[in-house]
Amino acid sequence: MGSFIVEGGRPLRGEIIPQGAKNEALQVICATLLTPEKVTISNIPDISDVYKLIELISCLGVKISRESGSSMSFEAIDIDLDYLQTPQFRAQSASIRGSIMIVGPLLARFGRAFIPKPGGDKIGRRRVDTHFTGFMKLGASFEFDTDDPFYRVEAASLTGCYIHLDEASVTGTANIIMAAVLARGRTTIYNAACEPYIQQLCRMLVSMGARIEGTGSNLLHIDGTTGLGGCRHSILPDMIEIGSFIGLAAMTGSEITIKDVSYENLGIIPDSFRRLGIQIERISDDIHIPRHDHYEIETFIDGSIMTISDAIWPGLTPDLLSVFLVTATQAKGAVLIHQKMFESRLFFVDKLIDMGAQIILCDPHRATVIGLDKMIRLRGTTMSSPDIRAGVALLIAALSAEGKSVIHNIEQIDRGYQQIDVRLNALGASIVRI
C-alpha cells in the first residue's frame, strides 16, 4: 500500500493541463468491442482504472497498440468469449466497476455476455438493475446466481423498443445505447443520462455509422444498423480533475491556470465554485484562478444558508462534492453539502475534523461546513484514502494544512488522477510518494 507524505502550506503557481476524462474513457474503450475495424482513441488518461480495463479487453482478444503519447488503437477482430468464464476474467472484471460496460457491446455483437458483480469504490449501493432491465426489454434473457454473484445475458437477436429508465444512470445509459445501436429497428430511451461522457459516446458511435438522435437530451432515438466501422475519437478533458484544481487553488492561496478545459462542457461547475466565493476567470478555453487570501460563501437571496447538492446532468456532478466540502472548510461562511446519490461518500469528513475543520455530519447524506476563513489553518495528520474523490479531497486538505500529513492507500487516488504528485510538485507542491 503506497502513501503520500505531504508538506502543507506551500502556495502553488503555474499552468496545468487536465488529463482525459476517466468516465468517458471507460465508455469509449468498451465501445471498441462493437466493431472489428480499427478504432483510435486519443487523450486516454494514464490511470490504473483505465489500464485495468484495457488489460481486460486485451485478454478478450482485442489487439491494442500505442499510437503516440496518449493515443491508442483497438481492433476487436478475434474475441474469445470463452475467456468470460475463466477465473482470471472474474478477478479482472471484479476489480473495476467500468467492466460492466463490456456487456452491452458483447451482447449486441455476439449475442451473449457474462460478468461478475463489479468492483470499484465502496461509496454505497451502486445497483446495476437499470443495465439488465434495458437488455431484457431489447429481448435478452437474464440470469443471476446469488450464490456465486455472476450476471449472464443472452439473445439470438436484439429488437428495438421503448425504454423508460428508472434512473438516469450514466453507465446504464451507455450500456443500453451500445446494445441498441446493433438492434433491429428503433430504440427510444427516455430519462437517459445526458452527461458530456454520454454525449461523447454518442458522437463516437455516430462516427462509426450508428444512427442516434437526441444527443445531449434525456430522450434518445436509436435506429439499429447491421454493423459499425472504425473511427478516430478524442476524449474530453476531465471535468472532475478541473474542479479539483479549482478547489485546490482557492484553498491553498495559489495562482493556477488550467489549460484547455473545454469550458462549454463544464456545465454548472464554474458557477457552483463561484457560489463559494471563488473567482474564476475564463481566458479563451483556459481557466485562471487568481490567488485567494479569502473567499466568502454566498447565501440565498432570503439570507438562508447556501446548499450545494448533486443532481443528474445538467446538475452538479456528485464526483465533485467531496472537493466542494473540503474547499468550504477554509471559506468564510457556512454551507450545507447534500450528497444525494451515495450514502457512504461523506464518511471521510472525520479525517477533516481531526485536522481542525468545523463540520457537522448530519446524516450519511448531509454535512454542514462552518468555514474558518483561513483564520485557523488545518493541521497535518495521518489518514487513509477511502475512495478516489475523497482521496483527492484529503490531498487538497493536506496541501493547505500546517505541517506534514501522511495519506495512505493512495492507490485509490491513482485510480482516477494521473501522476498527481508529479504534476502538482511541478507547480511547487511538496508531495513524496513512498
Identify whether the C-beta of residue 253 lies closer than 8 Å to the C-beta of residue 292: yes
CA pseudo-torsion sign 255, 261, 267, 269: negative
DSSP string, 291-307: --S--B----TTSPPEE
H/E run at residue 31:
helix 22-31
All cell numbers assigned to 4: 503520500
CA pseudo-torsion sign 423, 73, 267, 125: negative
Identify whether the C-beta of residue 396 lies closer than 8 Å to the C-beta of residue 323: yes
SS3 call for 426:
coil
Distance CA 277, CA 263 (A): 19
SS3 call for 113:
strand
Q: Which residue among 49, 121, 238, 414 is the active-site one?
A: 121
CA pseudo-torsion sign 261, 416, 414, 293: positive
Identify whether the C-beta of residue 67 lies closer than 8 Å to the C-beta of residue 31: no
> Is 121 part of the annotated catalytic residue set?
yes
Q: Are strands 150-154 and 112-116 parallel, antiparallel or unpaired?
A: antiparallel
Dihedrals phi, psi of 351, to nearest 5 degrees: -70, -35
Distance CA 262, CA 287 (A): 10
Q: Are strands 13-16 and 255-258 parallel, antiparallel or unpaired?
A: parallel
Radius of gyration of the chain (CA): 22
Write the CA distances from 140 to 33, 114, 146, 190, 263, integer angstroms.
Answer: 18, 12, 19, 19, 40
Nearest C-alpha neighbor of 397 from the set 246, 244, 289, 248 = 248
Residues in the chain: 434
Catalytic residues, by residue number, are 121
